Amino acid sequence: MLKLITFLMLSGCSQKFEDTFSTINTSINGYLDVDLSDSQLEKLQYDSVYVKINNGKQILMILALIENNKETGQEQLKWVSADKVMLITENGRIVKTLGLNHNLVDLRKENSSLASPPNTLRENSFIYSWMPDYRYNFRAISHISHIKNEILHLSDWSVSTQYTIESIKFDSFKNHSFENRYWRNEANRTVKTIQYIGPNMDKIEMHFIKRFVESKS
């Protein structure tokens, strides 16, 4: 049933964003980077993100849906590409993927809601689940540290950010760990992030375009 609901939702999204997808290469298997002009970025009808998966080309994904996570009370943003790949983020953290070769089917924080990556040293514990092969409920410890303030640029826009690194280590994978990276603006919203969905799995880089355009600096 979940797969059917997802398929129907994505089909609706494809129709809704047909004009945008028809003029921009939004496929994760595209051969050229998507690099829109200032005017094109400002005129985008929908909230969008630039995305790179591993060493692939830069694509554009569109915000298809915003839903409330009843368990955490936080908004989940669902970003979709023309070829029906979906990334779901919560407070800038990727919590689920659809349409990749290996997918993060669930990411949750133990005992409380997913927190925004903090700006000070902190440890949290998370539970990861992946498909295929029914790999469920792998516990990981995250250690987040503030590194520095940094100015990020996108086209002619710039924004002041706080850059943090999150180290992830798993109880069950002693020799496997990875680092996620977050750049957050003065409103504590994620402007850019580089995350792994699991050990030895896809690396996903995201630039949240609207956060740059809104900065006007």
If pLDDT is split at 50, 70 and 90, which confidence band does 44 have? Answer: confident
Sign of CA dihedral 22, 24, 26, 32: positive
Is the pLDDT higher at 16 or at 174? 174
* Contact call for residues 147 and 155 (beta carbons, < 8 A): no
Number of neighbouring beta carbons within 10 Å of residue 93: 21
Is 210 a residue whose pLDDT tops 50?
yes
Is 101 a residue whose pLDDT tops 60?
yes
CA dist., res. 49 & res. 207, Å (int): 5
pTM, full prediction? 0.85
Give the chain's domains with CATH numbers.
2-215 (2.40.360.10)
Averaged pLDDT score across all residues of the chain:
83
The arithmetic mean of pLDDT across residues 6-30, rounded, is 54
Is 131 a residue whose pLDDT tops 60?
yes
Q: Write out pLDDT tens, residues 156-199.
A: 889 999 999 999 999 888 788 999 999 999 999 999 999 999 99
CA dist., res. 90 & res. 199, Å (int): 20
pLDDT at residue 182, as a whole number: 97
CA dist., res. 24 & res. 7, Å (int): 22
Is 51 a residue whose pLDDT tops 90?
yes
The arithmetic mean of pLDDT across residues 89-98, rounded, is 96
